Amino acid sequence: METVTRFAPSPNGPLHLGHAWSAIVAHDLARARGGRFLVRIEDIDGARSRAEFAESALEDLAWLGLTWDGPAIRQSERVDTHAAAVEDLKARGLVYPCHCTRAEVAAAARKIGPDGPVYPGTCRDAAFVPTGPVAWRLHMDRALAKAGPLTWYDELAGEQVANPGLFGDVVLARKDAPGSYHLAVTLDDAADGVTVVTRGADLFASTHVHRLLQALFALPVPQWHHHALLLDETGEKLAKRRGSPSLFDRRLAGEDGRALADALRAGQLPSNLTFSRLANGGENA
């Protein structure tokens, strides 16, 4: 089977070195296997997405010497399919409306999951009829019963037993977007024919939820490749908020993007950065 990978940035800010590494891993993996490398701009967060960040991201990738197959895909063009999938789950009684705010969830939660406070189920049995926009949450117990036991395979960490219950009743449709990250990324990876989902190890646990959604929608099951993250001197992953230099800044300063990509490939990181360990204890890609 042909290998298809993708890099799927959210255009909420400029790309940094961590994004560059993620794109290089996905690109090189596809090229090494004679497959295809796709770019998908995950621009469904209307409040945070900006067209100029999407444009700049594509210029950054070209500057790094990466090539992708076909035009960049825009996730915002898929929102109808995201909405239709939620309607399907509504009809099957697998989602329910929730009006709780983030602050209410944080205050009422009794557990912390991979994404933060686990929703305690406040609206699960409330049976209210929404009059305005609300979030729709997966009824995790029913979904787990429907799907049965599941496993998934990470190329670096090996076979995993899916444990989506860690997340509780996750949001699948947001008040302000037809699909949440978990829903949109799962549907779109299937729509794009992705066979190896490459992304940072910080999203490792999310795959438990994605595997469950694949089962509920009878989607093909890819493999995963969760690569190491670039960490800064405090041991935290690079984040735009923390002021790490953007690729845009480097490009504007006249730096050679191809040389930078080759240095990362060779494990030559700027002196303040290190690679995180992987879920299986190993390092690097």
Does position 162 bind ligand GLU by CB under 6 A?
no
| Residue 9 touches ligand GLU, criterion: CB under 6 A | yes
Q: 173 and 180 in contact (C-beta within 8 Å)?
A: yes
Three-state DSSP at 197 gives strand
Binders in 165-194 for ligand GLU, by CB under 6 A: 185
Q: From the centroid of its chain, how far is CA 159?
A: 20
Shortest Cβ 269–ligand GLU spacing (Å): 21
In angstroms, how far is CA 174 from the centroid of its own chain? 16
From the centroid of its chain, how far is CA 172? 14
Strand partners for 5 = 37
Q: How far is the CB of 207 from ligand GLU (least distance, A)?
A: 9
| Structure tokens given for 62 | 């070209």
Sole window of 4-12, 149-157, 247-255, 269-277 interacting with ligand GLU (rule: CB under 6 A): 4-12
What is the sign of the dihedral through the CA atoms of 174, 176, 181 and 187? positive
Indicate the length of the chain as a whole number.
Answer: 285
Q: Choose one: 2-10, 80-88, 133-141, 157-165; the region binding ligand GLU (CB under 6 A).
A: 2-10
Cβ count within 10 A of residue 285? 20
The dihedral sign for the CA sequence 97, 99, 101, 106: negative
Spacing of C-alpha 62 from chain mean position: 22
User: How many residues contact ligand GLU, by CB under 6 A?
Assistant: 7
**Is 240 assigned a catalytic role?**
yes
Report the distance separating Cα 60 and Cα 250, nearest Å. 9
Kindly write out the interface string for residues 216-255 of this chain, putting x where it contacts ligand GLU by CB under 6 A and - elsewhere.
Answer: ----------------------------------------
> 90, 146, 175, 240: which is the annotated catalytic residue?
240
199 touches ligand GLU (CB under 6 A):
yes
> Which residue's C-beta sits nearest to ligand GLU?
199
Binding mask 29-48 for ligand GLU (x = CB under 6 A): -------------x------
Contact between 203 and ligand GLU by CB under 6 A: the answer reads yes
Q: Which is nearer to ligand GLU, 10 or 246 (CB)?
A: 10
Give me the active site residues, please. 240
In the complex, the residues that contact ligand GLU under the rule CB under 6 A are 8-10, 42, 185, 199, 203
